[in-house]
Structures are given as C-alpha cells and as structure tokens.
Chains A and B, each alone.
Chain A
Amino acid sequence: MHSDSALELIFTGDPALLEIVRLSLIVSLSAVAIAAFVGIPLGALVALNRFSGREGVIVLLNTLMGLPPVVAGLAVYLLLSRSGPLGSLGLIFTPTAMIIAQTVLVIPIIAALTRQTIEDLWDEYREELTAMNVRVFRRVTTLIWDGRFSLVVTLLAGFGRAAAEVGAIIIVGGNINGYTRTMTTAIALETSKGDLSLAMGLGAVLIAIVIIVNTLAWSVRRAGEKMAG
C-alpha cells in the first residue's frame, strides 16, 4: 500500500488498508475485553473491601491510568524478548504481544474507574442491600449490573486509550508490514517517510472508527437510561 491518494485506497477497499484496520480493531478490542475481565472484578474488590494499604492501591491505580505507553511497551518487551523471562513463549513481534501491552495499559483505567463507580453506587445502596441480607457475591453482581452504563463508558475510555496509542505496540510489535502494522503505527511510519497525505487518510479512518464506537455506546447508554432511569 503506497501512496495512491488515501481516499482512493479507502473507497476501493484496498486489501492492505483493510488488513491494517482489521488488525487495529482486533488488538484494541481484545485488549479491552481482557482488561475488562481483570479490571472490573479488581475495581469492585477494591471498592468493597477495607484492607490495609487500600488508599495506596487506589492512588496507584489512578496514577497508572496515566502510564506512558512507551514505558508499558518497554516493560512488556523486556518480559517477552527471547532473552527475557517469558521469551520461550515466542511472543515478541506478534499481534499477541501487542494485545498484552495494550491490556497492561487499559487494566488500570478500567479498574480505577470501576472502583469509583462501584464505590459511589455502594454508598447509595449499602443500607438497603445490607437490610435485605444480600450475600457478598450477589452484592457485587448487583452493583456491576446497576452500574452497567457507567461501566460501558469506562470500557469506552479504555478502548479510546488502546486505539489511540502507538508507543507500546510499536515496541513490542515491530511494525512489521502485513503482520503487526496497525493504523497508528502505519501513520507514524508514513509520517516519518514524509507521505503525509496517506498518513492523514489513515488518521481519518481511525477517527471515523472511534466516532462509530462512541456513537454505538452512546445509544446503548440512552436506551439504558430509558429502561432503568
């Protein structure tokens, strides 16, 4: 995929461009899915339990939301490199490594925001749920369910972070043509090559995707508000 006009590539459905878009979505969506699996229970755990060092954990989670992607990328690279502790998994320079790096970035966002949502909701529900003798596990699921719209926004924030970053995935993925090249890494590459019109075309596609995802989530939220008030 070289510099035919970016618009031409988009409208003719150039296969290389489609592959890049496909990979970007797979990497970021997978990262958000895994991060949600880990981050939502983690956030709920911290929200609902008192333990020594709790304040420190909350501050840490909030701070990690701003973890620089290149730092996360470097850390994951050192782990997955053949010379590193997990080298035998053979994951360096693969899409899986990119998913791992982005998951690391997104988990703190989801955990920290989930904690906030659940904690606020718990403040509101605590007495009623205690008076109704609701068992601990049920409490957690109730809070997560009743807080689902805020949690959707949280997942969105996580996706935004993953879809937009380039620093982590370029380090652990290597920006290999046709294999680990995503929209953001392709934009970085084309810009550095001076092919700005192609870079801008890719940028437009990226923004369009983010807008679509946001619109979908917004409609989900509105529908939910109608249903549950």
Chain B
Amino acid sequence: MRAGASDLPIRFESVSVGTRGVTMLDRITLLIEAGPPTVLIGPNGSGKTTLLRTAMGLVRPTQGRITWGGAEKSPPVQRAIVFQRPAMLRRSVSGNLSYALSTARIPRRTERINELLSMVGLDGLGKRPARRLSGGEQQRLALARALARDPAVLLLDEPTASLDPASTKTIEDIISAIAVSGIKVVIATHDLGEARRIGGEIVLLHHGRVIERAGATEFLNAPKADEAKAFLAGELLV
C-alpha cells in the first residue's frame, strides 16, 4: 500500500456532469470511504460508468466539486481503473504488466510480474501477445495491470459484463480477495447476483441520481425507495 496522503475518502459534492443537453450525473453527493466494496448498480444509462470515471479523475464535473482525501487535484497515482473493454497494449502479457509497473514508477522485477500473473490466474501466459488472449483473459490482465500500480482504490466498470459464467466466477473471486486485502473496491455492475456475491454497500443510481444507499443485505432484502423496489423486481429498465 502506498504511503503518503491517501485518495480516500472520495467526496462528491453536488457533482453534475453533462454535455450538450445530456445530463449523466445530476447533483451527486456521495462519500466513498475506506472499507468494504462499494457496488454501483442501476439500469443502463443511469450514470454508473460516468460516476466511476469521475471518481477516477478522467471526467471533470460541469458543476460541483470532487475531492480525493481532501485534495481537489490528485493525479491518478493511488487509484486504478479497469474499463469495461480494456485496451491491450500491443505487447506481450508480461509487457503490459511491465508497462503498468514502470509508468507507476515501480521496479519491474520479474518476481513481481509473476506474482501478479498468479493473482489473476494467468500463469504461464507471460509471453503471449496480449491481444491474442480471450475476453476473460484480457479482463484479468487489465485487472493485473491495475493491481500492478499498487492502488489504494480500485475502480471496476462492469468487469464481467461480456464474460461467460466460468470467467465471471474467477474474476469475482479475485475481486473479493482484493477487497479482503485492504484495497478499496468500487465496482459497477448490472448483475444483482454479483452485487450480492461481492457484498459491501450498494448504491443505486437512476437518471444520474443516487436513489438509495445501504448495506448489501439490507438493500437487497428490504429496499426503501420505490425505484429500488422496482429495480429489484426487474421493472426499472430505463
């Protein structure tokens, strides 16, 4: 874990993000603190991806402000993100990890690379060109790349959305292990089952607004808001 000032808590203060008449986030006020995973759920277009990107610092609020550990500007040194469709660098698997380490100014030791490969179950694939991996393998590599940077916060945007059940399970297990090891996980998913399996706290988004926020078990068994109930019943589609 990185020493020095922390990125946590990530504080959204009435943050809006919108372009050309389309509002993606609507006056979001939210505190992401150290602890168990924060799971973002909601229908398509509800703003999950935008929220993650804003939390990463890739998107600037059009209104309101966001701070990381109290600081308004924080380069993405202590946090890492895994995109829904991660881009593979035109290098080998090890090459991708090596790149992630060096851009994070971490020594590129072979042992560390092998360790990371093990963590995500890609042992032995070090020399393969990254672009030749299967979808699930690429997602795991993206995860390893993010972990290589030794982040305090790990953001994941629907990491299992395009994967088969076996790969999904593998990745979820890895994520749970990561959460247990002390890294703050913030994950967006549209899969309620996944939300339950990962646990922690759940934040329901709809039309760019936070509808409800509660511990996983509590939310899933006894949602309060109408939209929450509708969502759990599978009736909140858009």
Contacts and interface: CB of A to CB of B under 8 A. Distances in A.
Contact of B80 (A124, A127, A131, A227): A131
B103 interface: yes
A89 to B, nearest CB: 43
Contacts of A146: 89-91
Contacts of A229: 88, 90, 92, 128-132
B149 A132 contact: yes
Between A124, A130, A228, the greatest number of chain B beta carbons within 10 A of the residue's beta carbon is seen for A228
Given A128-B86, A146-B90, A228-B92, A134 B129 contact: no
Nearest to B83: A127
B58 A127 contact: yes
B75 interface: yes
A133 interface: yes
Given A146-B89, A228-B91, A228-B92, A132 B103 contact: yes
A24 to B, nearest CB: 34
A153 to B, nearest CB: 15
A138 interface: yes
B104 interface: yes
A119 B89 CA distance: 15
A131 B129 contact: no
B129 A227 contact: yes
A37 interface: no
A134 B103 contact: yes
Contacts of B145: 132
Interface string B71-84: 00001110011010
A179 interface: no
21 contacts: A125-B87, A128-B86, A128-B89, A131-B76, A131-B80, A131-B81, A132-B80, A132-B100, A132-B103, A132-B149, A133-B77, A142-B99, A146-B90, A147-B90, A227-B129, A228-B92, A228-B95, A229-B88, A229-B90, A229-B92, A229-B132
Contacts of A226: 129
Contacts of B129: 226-229
Contact of B87 (A124, A134, A138, A147): A124
Given A132-B99, A228-B95, 17 more contacts: A125-B87, A127-B58, A128-B86, A130-B58, A131-B81, A132-B104, A133-B75, A133-B76, A133-B77, A142-B99, A146-B90, A147-B90, A227-B92, A228-B90, A228-B129, A229-B90, A229-B128
Interface in A72-109: none
B195 interface: no
Interface string A111-145: 00000000000001101101111100010001000
B92 A131 contact: no
Contacts of A125: 87, 89
B108 to A, nearest CB: 14
A95 B128 CA distance: 47
B56 interface: yes
Contacts of A142: 89, 99
Contacts of A131: 56, 58, 76, 80-81, 83
B98 to A, nearest CB: 12
B124 to A, nearest CB: 17
Interface string A60-72: 0000000000000
A227 B129 CA distance: 6
Contacts of B91: 146, 228
A133 B80 CA distance: 10
B222 to A, nearest CB: 37
Nearest to A126: B87
Contacts of B130: 229
Contacts of A128: 83, 86-87, 89
Nearest to A224: B90
B66 to A, nearest CB: 16
A73 B90 CA distance: 40
A44 B178 CA distance: 38
Contacts of A132: 76, 80, 99-100, 103-104, 145, 149
Contacts of B99: 132, 142
